[in-house]
Structure 1
Amino acid sequence: MTLPSTPDGHPRASNGHPAPAGTDAPLVRPDVTLPVRGGAYRRPDAGTVARLGQVSSATACAKLHGLGLRHSFVEGPRPLAPGYRVVGSALTLQFMPQREDLAAGDEQEYVERHTALWHVLEAARPGDVLVIQAYGSRFSGCVGDILARYFQRRGGAGIVVDGRIRDSGKIRDLGLPVWSTGVTPHYASQSELFPWAYDVPVAVGGVLCLPGDLVVADDDGPVIVPQAMAEEVVASAQDHEEWEGFSRLRLDEGARLSDYYPLTPDTRGEFEAWRSAQSSAR
C-alpha cells in the first residue's frame, strides 16, 4: 500500500506523521485503551471543606510540616489574578509525553474530545478543584476558555495546573480561580504532551496529589492536604490563626516582637485569657 507523501517526499504514516525512514508502513499502534481512569474514591465531606476554608495555604503548609508532612506546597503555579482563593476536593488529570505511534496527527485537536481531558470535565462535581499534572510544560495549553467555562458551569471551584493555560484573558474574565505556571497560545496536545488519565494520583510541582485530597490555594500558592489529615490541620490551624490575630493586636499597640511572635509561656496565658473574654462577649 502506498501512503500519502509529506512535502519532502517521504511516506506518511496512518497517524499523519512521517513514516520511519526507509519504510512505507505505518507505525504499529500499541494495544492501549484511552483514556485511563483510576478507581473510585471518596470526596471529603462539605463540613471539612468549609472548616478548611478558613485556613490560609501558608498556615496549612506549616501545620502539615509540624505533623510530619514535608512536601505539600505545589511549587510553580501562580494565581492568574491576585486575590484568588479556593478550597476543594482534588479532581485529577494526568498528561503524558506524546509518542509517534499514539499521536493523532493533523486532526489531533478534535481527537482530544475522546481523551481524559474531556472525560475529567464530565466527571466534575460542585466544589472540585481540577489538579493537572503537566510537568511544568511551557508549550501545552492544558485548559482554554471553553473547557474552563464548562468546568465552572458544572460547579468546579478552581484549577491548579503544573503547566500552562491558553485563552488567559477570557478565563480571567470568568472569575474562575486558576493557578498555572504561565500562558501559551498552544492547545493541550499541540506540543509534547497528551491527556492520558484521570482520577489517578498525579505529581504537581514536586508534590503527590491523590484524588479526593484537599487543595488550599491563595496568593501564596497551592497546598495539598491529605484528606485523612484535614481535620487535624483544621484544629491546629484554628488555634494558630487566633493567636496570630491576638499578636497583631499587641504588636500594633507597640509590644515587642519577641514577646508575641511566637507567643511565650507568659503571653500564651495572656492570649488564653483574651480568647476566653472574646468568647464570653459573643
Structure 2
Amino acid sequence: MNFDNPEYIKHITPLWEGERFSNGRPKVSEDILQRIRKITLEEAWGPLWQRGYTFQFEGDFKIIHPNKVMVGRAVTAVLVPMRPDLHETLLNYGHKEEGRNGFFNQWVIDSLEEDDVVVVDLFDKIHKGTYVGGNLSTAISSRTKRGGAIVWGGIRDQQQIVDIDNINVFYRGSDPTGIADVTMVGMNTPTRIGKAVCLPGDVVLATPSGVIFIPPHLAEPTVVQAEKSQVRDIFGFIRLKEGVYSTAQIDAAWPLALWEDFMNWFNNAPEATEYRHLTWDDELEEARKRGDDGRPTSDVRL
C-alpha cells in the first residue's frame, strides 16, 4: 500500500483525458478555474444534475470568509476514529516507507500546490477533530495562494485564520483542542463530505451557499453551459426591462426570431464581450428545426 498512489488515482479518474500532476491527480487548466470563479453555484449544479451527478453538493458549513468564493483542485483525505493497531501501522508506514514527517494532516498539507483545496472527511469530529489551526492554515495560504480547505470536522485558532485573506475554510465547528484520536486511511481517495462525493482533482466551487464538487472531465462543459445561461439571462433581463418580450417568452424555448435578436445583441453589445468565446450553432440548429413558433416544423400548420 501507499498514500497518494498515482496508479490508483488514475484508475478512479479514467474519464479525465487532460494533464495530470505527478501523482496522477487531474489538473484542470487555470483558464477553466478562472471561468468557474465567475459562475454561481446553481449555474454549476444544473449541468451536473442533468448528467446524473446528484450527490455533488453540501451546504451545511460554517465559513471563515462568508462572502468569499473559493475555487480550486481537490486534494482529498479520509480519517477514521483511532484504532491503535491500525493507527501505529499507518503512521509508521508513512514515516518509514514514504519519508513523511509529522501527523497525518501535515502530510496532506505538505503536498499542496497552487490553487489546491484540501477536502477532508473527518467524520464530523470537532472536539479533538481540529484539522487546521493558525499554523497549518498559514501553510495552506503559502502553498495554494488562493485555495483553502473543506473540512467535515473541526478547526482551531479561528481568530488567527480569519486574518488570512487569500484563502477560505469551510468547516463544521471550532474547538480549542488539537487534533487527536484519528487515523488517516486514505489520501487522494474518494471522500464523502456530508451528502457529497469528492474525488482527487475535482474542481471545488465553494460559495456562501455551500460547496459543489465538479468532476474534472465535466469542468469545461459545466462552465460553458453556465456561461451560456449567464449571458442569456443578461440578454433576457435587458429585453424584459425594455418591454420587448414577456417573461413567458424569455423562459420558454426560444423561436428562431428571438434567437436572431439574441445573436445580433450577442455579437455587438458590450455586455456580451467577455462571453464571445461561446458558440451557438447547436442552439440555432435546434431552433430552426422547431420552426419560428417554437414547435417542431412538422407540426406547423400552414
**Distance in 2 (alpha carbons) for counterparts of 1:273 and 1:224:** 36
Amino acid aligned to 1:95: L
Deviates more, 1:68-77 or 1:158-167: 68-77
Q: 1:72 to 1:276 in 2, by over 3 A?
A: farther
Question: Which residue is equivalent to 1:187?
Answer: 178
**Distance in 2 (alpha carbons) for counterparts of 1:242 and 1:53:** 15
Q: 1:134 to 1:276 in 2, by over 3 A?
A: farther
**Shift in Å, 1:103:** 5.9
**Shift in Å, 1:281:** 3.7
Q: 1:1-282 counterparts in 2 under 5 A?
A: 36-39=3-6, 40-41=23-24, 42-101=26-85, 114-139=102-127, 140-156=129-145, 157-175=147-165, 176-189=167-180, 192-250=181-239, 257-260=247-250, 263-266=251-254, 270=258, 273-274=261-262, 276-282=264-270
Q: Normalized against structure 2, the TM-score is what?
A: 0.70
Q: 1:69 to 1:102 in 2, by over 3 A?
A: closer
Question: Which residue is equivalent to 1:107?
Answer: none
Amino acid aligned to 2:53: L
Output one character per residue of 1:184-220: Cα deviation in whole Å (capped at 9) or x when no partner.
222122xx43344322221112222111111111111
Q: 1:91 to 1:195 in 2, by over 3 A?
A: same
Amino acid aligned to 1:239: K
In proportion to residue count, which structure has more helix? 2
**Distance in 2 (alpha carbons) for counterparts of 1:80 and 1:94:** 22
Verify the 8 A CA contact 1:243 1:271 in the aligned structure 2: no
Verify the 8 A CA contact 1:116 1:198 in the aligned structure 2: no
CA-atom RMSD in angstroms? 2.7
| Structure 2, gaps ≥5 residues long | 7-22, 89-94, 271-302
**Distance in 2 (alpha carbons) for counterparts of 1:149 and 1:164:** 17
SS of the residue corresponding to residue 37 of structure 1 reads coil
Output one character per residue of 1:96-153: Cα deviation in whole Å (capped at 9) or x when no partner.
211244568xxxxxx9952331111111100101111112223211111100001111
Identity %: 23
Verify the 8 A CA contact 1:246 1:271 in the aligned structure 2: no
SS of the residue corresponding to residue 124 of structure 1 reads coil
| Structure 1, gaps ≥5 residues long | 1-32, 105-110
**Shift in Å, 1:238:** 0.9
**Distance in 1 (alpha carbons) for counterparts of 2:49 and 2:105:** 33
**Shift in Å, 1:95:** 1.4
**Distance in 2 (alpha carbons) for counterparts of 1:50 and 1:258:** 33
**Distance in 1 (alpha carbons) for counterparts of 2:260 and 2:179:** 53
SS of the residue corresponding to residue 114 of structure 1 reads coil
Verify the 8 A CA contact 1:77 1:163 in the aligned structure 2: no
**Distance in 1 (alpha carbons) for counterparts of 2:260 and 2:47:** 20
Q: Normalized against structure 1, the TM-score is what?
A: 0.75
Verify the 8 A CA contact 1:44 1:227 in the aligned structure 2: yes
Q: 1:63 to 1:116 in 2, by over 3 A?
A: same
Verify the 8 A CA contact 1:92 1:201 in the aligned structure 2: yes
Amino acid aligned to 1:171: I
**Distance in 1 (alpha carbons) for counterparts of 2:72 and 2:268:** 33
Q: How many residues align?
A: 239
SS of the residue corresponding to residue 236 of structure 2 reads helix
